[in-house]
Amino acid sequence: MTKPLEGIKIIDFTHVQAGPACTQLLAWFGADVIKVERPGSGDVTRNQLRDIPDADALYFTMLNSNKKSLTLDTKKPEGKEILEKLVRESDVLVENFGPGALDRMGFSWERLNELNPKMIVASVKGFSDGHHYDDLKVYENVAQCAGGAASTTGFWDGPPTISAAALGDSNTGMHLAIGILTALLGRDKTGKGQKVAVSMQDSVLNLCRVKLRDQQRLERVGYLEEYPQYPHGEFSDVVPRGGNAGGGGQPGWVLKCKGWETDPNAYIYFTIQGHAWEPICKALGKPEWIDDPAYKTAEARQPHIFEIFGTIEAWLADKTKFEAVDILRKFDIPCAPVLTMKELANDPSLRASGTIVEVPHKKRGSYLTVGSPIKFSDMKPEVTASPLLGEHTDEVLASLGYSRQDIFNLREIKAV
Ligand code: CAO
């Protein structure tokens, strides 16, 4: 089966998570992704949090599948020369170095565009160009704080909280992938490459748009009726942390199920959709609530929403999270069990769909990783193992015309 991105050659000058998540996605869809790494050490994540001595860490293997690895010291003249050759024949260069690093290396956008006017140069930085923080180096949690996620996540009586989801890293990588694909389509029309830049702050904020909505509502009316602070608590002039409240127009909360006293994940998320009130009452065995004026409308329910959640928890007390969802699904109520990583790793549906895959690896044996969350009718992306450090150096150099003796000499001077 041919893959849509076959024939697209990508220089993957990325490290850690944000950039590698982007290029991994493009590699799944068929792009020829050559990861350029520093000789001897490579991407820092190869060594981070290792669970098997001498084998690449899962942090690396789970972000670099389907790629080739070329070791290259791009600060040495010989390394620069090789990179220039690669640039001349590639379609995309992706990087997420600290601010200014690529320029210091001698590969500014202007230089890259001069070497190959058709090439797309895609970058991740913490903050966008021209932002007053654009000189900062940024990791995941920094981006979550700068992009509005931390101030709006958690409980009102606790500190700003970081989400476990990689809103700053992988999310930014996904935004960049969309930018690259758009620029490739643009190139088909104009014949020209362009610079594509995504900042982690902007990508986090893009996902926090409902909180920007709430800031404006708060400024206009002084309260937010779907937040737990309403109607009994106080609002200041900034969007508060709403705990587990639903972010849209329907209230929801994480509710305890059977076994919550000993199992920290014996919970479901329950949503009270306005038009589903009748089925909810029927599911809970509370038919008297259906037409009771104190419960009938969303507005009437809001002042005592936690009393309602308490009643639902009493109903859940003798049901596991799975049993509860199996009942509620029959009533068309939007809900789900709170699933652990162990449950997800072993979920047969996720294995069958290719969302979680087991990949054989030369040194690790095999490892579990995420597969493509995007499903196509004409293509099933296959996940292959991440490369060992420099595994494809000889192959890539030979394709650029270097002889075995040249490669030996380059190794002697540690340029590759
Ligand atoms: N050969 C020679 N030098 C290389 C090289 C290679 N193959 N690959 C990288 N380098 C050099 C760079 O040129 C840079 O050198 P100078 O600083 O001397 O110019 C140096 O390695 C370090 O690069 P860096 O600043 O990117 O690395 P860091 O570990 O200090 O910072 C990070 C890491 C992630 C904070 C920073 O890269 C960053 O802010 N990136 C942008 C935002 C981002 O993507 N963050 C997400 C990371 S995932 O959480």
Measured distance CA(252)–CA(291) in Å, rounded: 21
Is residue 204 scored above 80 in pLDDT? yes
Question: From edge to edge, which strands make up the β-sheet containing 9-13?
Answer: 68-71, 32-37, 9-13, 92-95, 120-125, 195-199
Tokens linked to 369? 């990783």
Provide the total of helices (H) and of strands (E) in the chain, helices listed first.
17, 11
**DSSP letter string over 116-134?**
-TT-EEEEEESS-TT-TTT
Measured distance CA(350)–CA(334) in Å, rounded: 20
Phi, psi (deg, nearest 5) at residue 386 = -65, 150
If you take atom 19 of ligand 1, which residue's CA is the nearest one?
101
Banded model confidence at residue 137, pLDDT cuts 50, 70, 90: very high
If you take atom 44 of ligand 1, which residue's CA is the nearest one?
96
Looking at residue 304, the DSSP 8-state letter turns out to be G
Tally of CB atoms within 10 A around 24: 28
By percentage, how much of the chain surpasses pLDDT 70?
100
Q: Which amino acid is at 51?
A: D
Of 97, 102, 413, 414, the residue with max ligand 1 atoms within 8 A of its CB, to mutate for a pocket test, comes to: 97
Looking at residue 227, the DSSP 8-state letter turns out to be S
| The pLDDT value given to residue 1 | 65
Phi, psi (deg, nearest 5) at residue 13 = -100, 45
Mean pLDDT taken over the chain: 97
If you take atom 6 of ligand 1, which residue's CA is the nearest one?
38
What tens digit of pLDDT does each residue of 166-197 get?
999 999 999 999 999 999 999 999 999 999 99
Ligand 1 center from residue 101 Cα (angstroms): 7
- The answer to whether the beta carbons of residues 338 and 254 sit under 8 Å apart is yes
When pLDDT is averaged across residues 333-345 and rounded to a whole number, the result is 97
Ligand 1 center from residue 239 Cα (angstroms): 35
Q: Choosing from 43, 56, 169, 202, which is the catalytic residue?
A: 169
Q: How far is CA 364 from CA 360, 371, 388, in A?
A: 8, 18, 11
Which H or E run includes 22? helix 18-28
Ligand 1 atom closest to the CA of 100, numbered from 1: 19
Look at the alpha carbons of 42, 43, 44, 49 in this order and tell me if their dihedral is positive or negative.
negative
| The pLDDT value given to residue 249 | 78
What is the reported pTM? 0.97
Q: Which residues line ligand 1 (CB under 6 A)?
A: 16-19, 36-38, 72-75, 96-98, 101, 104-105, 124-126, 137-140, 169
What tens digit of pLDDT does each residue of 272-281 get?
998 899 999 9
Banded model confidence at residue 360, pLDDT cuts 50, 70, 90: very high
Ligand 1 center from residue 228 Cα (angstroms): 42
Banded model confidence at residue 358, pLDDT cuts 50, 70, 90: very high
Tokens linked to 12? 């993957």
The answer for residues whose C-beta is within 8 angstroms of residue 74's C-beta and 6 or more apart is 36, 80, 83, 105, 107
Tokens linked to 115? 């070497």
Strands 92-95 and 120-125: parallel
Grouping H, G, I as helix, E, B as strand and the rest as coil, residue 33 is strand
Ligand 1 center from residue 97 Cα (angstroms): 4
Count of residues making up the chain: 416
Helices (H), 194-320: 200-207, 209-221, 277-284, 298-301, 305-316
Is residue 270 scored above 70 in pLDDT? yes
Cα of 282 vs its chain's centroid, Å: 39
Q: Which amino acid is at 12?
A: D
Q: Is 169 noted as a catalytic residue in this protein?
A: yes
b/e sequence 223-244, b meaning 16+ C-beta within 10 Å:
ebebbbbbeeeeeeeebbbbbe
Grouping H, G, I as helix, E, B as strand and the rest as coil, residue 374 is coil
Banded model confidence at residue 248, pLDDT cuts 50, 70, 90: confident
Which H or E run includes 116? none
Measured distance CA(144)–CA(68) in Å, rounded: 31
Give which of 14, 13, 15 is closest to 45, Cα–Cα. 15
Is residue 208 scored above 90 in pLDDT? yes
Ligand 1 center from residue 15 Cα (angstroms): 8
- The answer to whether the beta carbons of residues 3 and 30 sit under 8 Å apart is yes
Is residue 74 scored above 90 in pLDDT? yes
What tens digit of pLDDT does each residue of 95-134 get?
999 999 999 999 999 999 999 999 999 999 999 999 999 9
Tally of CB atoms within 10 A around 330: 11
Banded model confidence at residue 250, pLDDT cuts 50, 70, 90: confident
By percentage, how much of the chain surpasses pLDDT 90?
96
